[in-house]
Structure 1
Amino acid sequence: MAEAEVSARRPNKRGQATRDAMLDAAVTSLASGDPGSVSGNRIAKDIGATWGAIKYQFGDIDGLWAAVLRRTAERRGDLPVRDVPPGTPIADRVHAVVDLMYEGLTASDSRAIETLRAALPRDAAELERLYPQTAAEFASWSPSWNEACQRLFGDLGVDPARVHEVAEFLPGAVRGLVSEKQLGSYSDLDVARRGLANAIAAYLDPSATNAPGTDRP
């Protein structure tokens, strides 16, 4: 079945419920961390459906993975920008974001994403060639995340370039702390998380931005 046919289909209420149930079951299967859960046949078995039924809803495995990623993105939502009262200090905003990401990266949706990422090609060109819909979904996350970060600090006069830098490295930095937690660590990860947030807040502080000798190429 052509991708356009799948994308154009408007499922009725019952069909949408079936689709949603398939996606939730696929996320649960991937969240187990079992490398075998990325198999289409394995997903079908875990979902309790035939592969043909899954293909009817999503077209192919690429369509399924892209839909799974959209599902997790919808549940994750945006940064709580609207919930931040005007004038909230930079440090409070940074600590809130770091804590939100730390908790989110331990959730089942994040485990599912990690399992899927581990099974996909590392090379971007190869990923785009083999799984174009999945690659497009992943590619859409970075601009959306950067835009959310810019909105979060937009009323405080923070240098947008620095916000962009933080947006680029923060997911990996917090993921590292989560990995330490999962693997077991003698480090105090609460202190580490607090230190990370304090360092970012100091870097984003407009007064620090304008201080002599702080800008680097």
Structure 2
Amino acid sequence: MAETNWYAVRTVPGSQRMARVLEPANDETEEQKADRVRRKGESIVERNLRNEGIDVYMPSFWAITQHQRTNKMREKRFPLLIGYAFVNIHQRDFERVRGVEGVMCFMRPSPDRGPIVFRDTDIGGLMLADFEKQQVWEREREERLIKAQSYRRNALNKRLGLIFPKGKRKKMPLRILAEAAIDSLSPASRQHVLLILNELKAMDQEMEACRRSANHLYSAA
């Protein structure tokens, strides 16, 4: 089988922004789920290349940004090399790569020479540095989430405490007490408690998803 090499491609402006999040399929297999997790934050050009079966690598970093209209904080992935990505292909695949939406051209030393070949060690060094930075980001992300959730949980527990005074708690955690006693509450109180319990459940799911993402990253090392 012919040898593959790494080549740099110029990307179309705007194609390095994050693609829409992949939604899980109803009949998603474990392998498809793992692939979807790995592709978290991928750019438009990366998705287009991968959908064509082309191996691509785009050095990147994560940062927290603030939405201009809603002021909501969100995580975003940005390219480290603006306008460039790397593909690992056979020479016969040059035209196939050029035909992918988001790819402009191959990087050449001069117009009369072929695309520049990058050594595996060069790309491997970039990937290792990228991976180490991603590990740090995932750890910091979990720490930020724990801190934010701690503040929010305290606020929600205080709201539950207004519904279940100390004398009625029976030395039981408020969340468990609320789940056990919800059917005996008035309709208005029941609705209020349900909203709080659903928010606590959503926070648990968010934390679990964060930890699964980190565990998947570390297991890939």
TM, length-normalised to structure 1:
0.26
Q: Which has the higher strand share?
A: 2
Q: Which has the higher helix share?
A: 1
TM, length-normalised to structure 2:
0.26
